[in-house]
Amino acid sequence: MTAVSTERATVLEARGLTRRFGGLVAVNDVSFDVREGEIFGLIGPNGAGKTTLFNLMTGLTPPSSGTLTYRGHNVTGLAPHRIAALGISRTFQNIRLFRALSALENVKIAQHVRTGAGLWAGVFGTARAEERRVEERAWALLDLVGLADRAGELAANFSYGDQRRLEIARALATEPRVLLLDEPAAGMNTAEKGQLTAFIREVHDRFDLTVLVIEHHVPLVMNLCDRVAVLNFGQLIAVGDPGAVQRDPKVIEAYLGGE
Amino acid sequence: MSGFLEQYGFLIVTMVQAGLLGLSLYFPLQAGQLSLASPGFYALGGYVAAIMLTNPAFSGLRDTLGNGMFPLTWLVAALLCGLLGLFVGVPALRLRGIYLALATIAFVEILRVVSLNLAVTGGAIGIFGIPQAFGFQDRWQYLWLFGPLLLLTLLFARQLERSRVGRAFRAIREDELAADAMGVPPTRYKVLAFVIGAVLAGIVGAMSAPFLNTWNAKQGTFDASIAILAFVLIGGSRNIWGPVVGGALLTAIPEVLRFLADWRLIINGLVLVVASLYLPQGIVGALQGVRRPPPPRRPPSVPAVVEAPGGGA
């Protein structure tokens, strides 16, 4: 459970990622590597560009310049569904579940890239075996996040915390190798945050994932992450193990100094 | 019985036809796309059938195929409408919401003006003297065509909804961006939903040309776009029965109220206003709201632990 120290293969490689919105440079020349199997924290004050960086990495926003490499493939500017197919999945800071659909259906939908039944297979019912697998896997994932007993309820009716768990289940349904969690603990109390830390670690271990987490809550990040990157005004000001980053004067000035 | 059918046969067939056109708009709506293009594809399908059934250029084919000519017109209409749907859909579906609706209205208008000005479509007069399908003696017999088409379409829609593709449609309807991020390619499925609607409208048009005996530019107008939209909104847009009920009802009401003379249009308008105010989910949606869907059944064997994907690296 200690930080990964041995050199592991690089999974994600960001080089000079930049995104401008008009005159604002939301992400400015950011370069970093994420290693196989680590839990990588992304912290920084509000508006530092953390979510924009996630959006660049999942194809929701194309970068203005720079490249993103995933396992040796250049994935810069690929459509989100292609990136999902390659094995990068995410949750959203402002929760984007399919609100009017049931929890079960939310998780079934996200298995799209790992299944192949086309229009006619669906209409003629020739994809029964695949449908059964989708169904079983959806239930298993709901079991994992503890929501199986409410599988039929609409996503909109779940509490905030449960919606976040459901979103993680949905992200896992795409069978990712890399999971990006955007402020998974937002709006949770201290006890819930503790549970969440354990849960993220469990998911990480069980699925053998590389996890990137954006989080404001510093104790959670320090507790959970193998390495931490700090963004401030769109620029990467520090990367390293949590202890070292916490002592970095630039970081203290930008972010931790306010705590 | 035959007296009833002779009197109301035309109306009943028109009701079924309206339900089918409602369904042609329902498919793109499943994927969250408000398309009003159905009358355009309906008109095109009708022209295809009218031309194939009357134009001297096809007389040889007609002599060879006999009644087989009718199914062939459906097939050709479906194919052409599908291709045109693909051609129009790919650029048009980059637009969202009301902009897509406007683009599809423009599409209907373009087809109408083109058909008004082409010789092969008979210009403003249109095409008349279209032979009755399979030598039908009476209009109600068209139920033998529209009835099975409706059943097949409903079956198709139901199966589709339960499938992977149907789930992809709903995901895009609910949140296109989230669907994309979860691996569902939005453009592909939006175009697919649009093409399904186009093909259905085209087949309905091809069946309708013999039924109406004449075919002209009045078949595909903006008015029809709005009428078909009303079928879906009044009937309900979240259930396959919605467009069918809405289409049948809105087609029947003006006829049933015929004794009110000019007042019937006012009543018809009132029904629309009241329904949209008090039944925002449509008639079928309101009826469905009473009854909650049963909870999903857990499959007997759910693996206790989710295995690591890719066999673990």
Give me the DSSP letters along B202-270. HHHHHHHHHHHS-B-GGGS-HHHHHHHHHHHHHH-SSSTHHHHHHHHHHHHHHHHGGGGTTHHHHHHHH
pLDDT band at B1 (very low <50, low <70, confident <90, very high): low
Q: What is the pLDDT of residue B312?
A: 40
Q: Which of B163, B177, B239 should be substituted to probe chain A, the one whose Cβ sees the most A Cβ atoms within 10 Å?
A: B163
Confidence of residue B306 (pLDDT cuts 50, 70, 90): low
A34-75 residue pLDDT tens: 999 999 999 988 889 999 999 999 999 999 999 999 999 999
ipTM of this model? 0.93
What tokens does A234 get? Answer: 């769109």
Chain B touched by A138 (CB under 8 Å): no
CA–CA dist A214, A207 (Å, integer): 20
Whether the pTM exceeds 0.95: the reply is: no
Per DSSP, helices labelled H in chain A are: 50-57, 80-86, 103-109, 119-123, 128-144, 160-173, 190-207, 218-224, 242-247, 249-254
- Whether B50 shows a pLDDT value over 60: the answer reads yes
Q: Is the pLDDT of residue B207 over 80?
A: yes
Contacts of range B226-231, beta carbons closer than 8 Å, 24 or more positions apart: B226/B36, B228/B18, B228/B21, B228/B22, B228/B24, B228/B25, B228/B36, B228/B38, B228/B39, B229/B25, B229/B36, B230/B272, B231/B18, B231/B19, B231/B21, B231/B22, B231/B25
Interface test with B, best of A8, A119, A120 (most B CBs within 10 A): A119
Dihedral angle, C-alpha B16, B18, B21, B26, nearest 10 °: -90
- Mean pLDDT (chain B) is 90
pLDDT in tens, B62-119: 999 999 999 999 999 999 999 999 999 999 998 888 899 999 999 999 999 999 999 9
CB contact under 8 A, B182 and A131: no
Model pLDDT, residue B258: 78
- Contact list, A148 vs chain B (CB under 8 Å): 298
Q: Give residue B309's pLDDT.
A: 47
The 10s digit of each residue's pLDDT in A199-248 is 999 999 999 999 999 988 888 888 899 999 999 999 999 999 998 988 88
Least confident of A24-33, A162-171, B275-284: B275-284
pLDDT category of residue B248 using cuts at 50, 70 and 90? very high
Residue B302's pLDDT band, with cuts at 50, 70 and 90, is confident
What's the burial of B303, exposed, middle or buried (CB within 10 Å: 0-12/13-18/19+)? exposed
Is residue B3 very low, low, confident or very high in pLDDT (cuts 50, 70, 90)? Answer: confident
- A101 closest CA partner among B184, B79, B68: B184
Which range is least confidently modeled, A141-155, A214-228, B205-219? A214-228
Let me know if A33 is exposed, middle or buried by CB neighbors in 10 A (0-12, 13-18, 19+): middle
Is residue A258 predicted with pLDDT exceeding 80?
no
Rounded CA-CA distance A64/A27 in Å is: 9
What is the pLDDT, as a whole number, of residue A20? 96
Q: What's the one-letter identity of residue B223?
A: D
pLDDT at residue A259, as a whole number:
44
Q: What is the pLDDT of residue A255?
A: 67
Judge whether residue B46 has pLDDT over 90.
yes
Flag the least confident range among B206-220, B267-281, B295-309.
B295-309
* pLDDT for B59: 92
- Top residue of B167, B187, B190, B240 to mutate, by most chain A CBs within 10 Å, is B167
Nearest to A132 among B163, B166, B299 (CB): B299
Which residues of B lie closer than 8 Å to A, measured between beta carbons? 156, 159-160, 162-168, 170-171, 174-175, 177-186, 192, 293-296, 298-299, 301-306, 308-310, 312-313
pLDDT over 90 percentage in chain B? 69
Q: Which residues of A touch B153 (CB under 8 A)?
A: none
pLDDT of residue B310: 47
pLDDT at A120 over 60: yes
pLDDT for the residue B91: 92
